[in-house]
Chains A and B, each alone.
Chain A
């Protein structure tokens, strides 16, 4: 086993456990940054410089976009309900299964460690994807599952070509941007519910739903929040002229 690859794999695992279990959205985002940057390095032979650079730039861009959404620290994410130790156990078990089944019935062309970490990331993604009740937590699940499937792909099919790395980079950056935009939309819609999803039963009910109380951390007053400049939803959108469903009464 290549010790350098083992170190990268360990770092990715730790980052993934942090991303899946932390209730502080900023710490979860930093954990995801480790996963996103480490994921393209976990290949043997390592990807071409162009492809690797594209993946790392995309990882940093995706992380930065997420950081814009969470940096004020005013709203927590769900975090793990069973704690980081239990999440680590799940990841370890999945990693052992992945390592032991390298190739999945076929001769794998990439490192067994890639499949081990890929399985671990996919296992860690399940709880956020299935039980997540806020955009950041589900977004972490989406990113973990994406990186997990890409690592399994490397383990099965070998090191991707530069073209594949470029396309993957675009996908990773786009996914990070989408999660960031959705999280920002949820955070700043005025109902003070943090990143929480709308109440079940349809979009219209959410305007009447009481905000979810945050029992973990006092939320700063609205006027003390830093001025947000990630201008995906400028205030001009709220004007009647920008009504998404303009209706001219007959």
Chain B
């Protein structure tokens, strides 16, 4: 029942907001109220709930609940920041629809259905590319985003159908598993806009305001990645099949994304492009998790996905607040920003710490685990170093912020982004409140950015029970589905199946039958 309430609110409010979009205020009001209600509904989700519907079912878990709570709360704050900094009227509706479809994808135990819902979760985001005054340019970006979504979705649909049945009933050539795994892993890469599939994501930053960017490029793909990890854990990781070539390709894409996206962000001059490439760079670590093919990667991967989505949302909100405060996103015009806006500077440092992390924080440890589980030898050390590559662009932004402000652009010579109190005229209350809101748009955006920054730091540190929820088993209609937990003496190098691997035998052993490959 709690899941039904969540879906009714998210999809219902998204539909109403889109229907009411002829009136901008009505659409935004419905969307914001819906987002608030969706946050409450997400908090109320029973992690043990399971529903049987139409030959399938829905099953919640603690991780799903936390993912949806964070997604809706961050989405609400991003919508408010967008309202203050300038965004699309459809952002609240798109956030609602995306989080509704994301919830559906996460509670579907059958990966064949979940990938369809995860693909659909990105569709609404395409609407954000449309602008009233230059529809063709927006449509051009939008159709390319839709193309990436559908191509990724088609690959995932085919992969999950290929080996989507009970593994004990499936006997196939090893190449089948390799190709299916490769198709789904590449689908995740395309969906995140990982390098070299990043062109659509880069163009998207030209068209979508900063506050809306994480909904399209972080939260939607994160849902897709969680589904991919569940499928990989259930269908690929148990196999005694060599997949070195496939893994090498995915690892190459992951490392290229981590390194080149950080470099691209470093050389960009626009905050929105820096945000876009930073999202792509962090997504490289999600690809490492997909490439790990190790059950030990399950918990750190899901921990990292949560931290990554919230931290990148915080960075996007900060960029939006910068634009609202200084009316530009060009770094060359932002000299002295940190001196003029200490609150934004503090938020920036918090975001940098949350996204890069320090040893002891849950997200940092999770990322280190992913690197160690997926890579070996000297390349492991190199990628560990690359994890600190964001320091390049964070440092550049901060150095520019600490320079002496440009006198030509500093008209007031004082602080920026602070609250502004204007007198309230009781005979014109509505007008007074409107003027107060307009005068405090930058301050509101800064406040929202600070709120998400603190949230990101808490999630990165392992707050809200994130690591425990991430370590939980995948949801199933008969209770949580056992993940692959190798027993003592299990072979992963093509040897004969260990006795403890037989289904139903022993406690704590794997719940699958290793597949006889021919």
Q: Interface of A with B (CB < 8 Å)?
A: 48, 50-51, 104-106, 109, 122, 129, 135, 138-139, 141-142, 145-146, 148-150, 152-154, 156-157, 160-168, 170-171, 174-175, 178-179, 181-189, 191, 193, 196-198, 202-204, 206-207, 231, 233-234, 236-238, 241-250
Beta-carbon contact of B134 and A244 below 8 Å: no
User: Given the complex of chains A and B, what is the CA–CA distance between A238 and B24 in angstroms?
Assistant: 12
User: Given the complex of chains A and B, what is the CA–CA distance between A97 and B117 in angstroms?
Assistant: 29
Which of A106, A150, A238, A243 is close to B162, meaning CB atoms less than 8 Å apart?
Answer: A106
Beta-carbon contact of A242 and B161 below 8 Å: no
Beta-carbon contact of B140 and A168 below 8 Å: no
> Shortest Cβ distance from B118 into chain A, in angstroms?
10
Least CB separation from A146: chain B residue: B150
Known pairs A174-B124, A175-B146; A157 contacts B164 (CB<8 A): yes
Least CB separation from B82: chain A residue: A244
Beta-carbon contact of B154 and A149 below 8 Å: yes
User: Given the complex of chains A and B, what is the CA–CA distance between A201 and B379 in angstroms?
Assistant: 37
B89-130 toward A: CB 8 Å interface, digit per residue (1/0)?
Answer: 100000000000000100010101100110110011011011
B424 on the interface (CB 8 Å rule)? no
Interface size on B, residues (CB 8 A): 67
Beta-carbon contact of A161 and B438 below 8 Å: no
User: Given the complex of chains A and B, what is the CA–CA distance between A189 and B131 in angstroms?
Assistant: 10
Contacts of A188 in B (CB 8 A): 135
Beta-carbon contact of A250 and B112 below 8 Å: no
User: Given the complex of chains A and B, what is the CA–CA distance between A237 and B164 in angstroms?
Assistant: 46
Contacts of B358 in A (CB 8 A): none
Beta-carbon contact of A242 and B150 below 8 Å: no
Beta-carbon contact of B139 and A164 below 8 Å: no
Least CB separation from A145: chain B residue: B154
Q: Is the interface of A mostly helix, strand, loop or mixed?
A: helix
Beta-carbon contact of A106 and B176 below 8 Å: yes
User: Given the complex of chains A and B, what is the CA–CA distance between A189 and B134 in angstroms?
Assistant: 6
Beta-carbon contact of A178 and B54 below 8 Å: no
Residue among B53, B116, B119, B142 facing the most chain A CB atoms (10 A cut-off): B116
Beta-carbon contact of A203 and B206 below 8 Å: yes
B141 on the interface (CB 8 Å rule)? yes
Q: Which 4 A-B pairs have the closest CB atoms?
A: A161-B55, A203-B137, A162-B54, A189-B135
Beta-carbon contact of B161 and A152 below 8 Å: yes
> Shortest Cβ distance from A202 into chain B, in angstroms?
6
Contacts of A182 in B (CB 8 A): 126, 129-130, 138-139, 142-143, 146
B40 on the interface (CB 8 Å rule)? no
Contacts of B172 in A (CB 8 A): 105-106
Beta-carbon contact of B54 and A153 below 8 Å: no
Can you offer 15 A-B residue contacts whose CB atoms are under 8 A? Answer: A50-B54, A105-B173, A149-B154, A152-B161, A153-B158, A161-B54, A164-B56, A175-B150, A178-B142, A182-B142, A184-B135, A185-B136, A188-B135, A231-B22, A233-B130
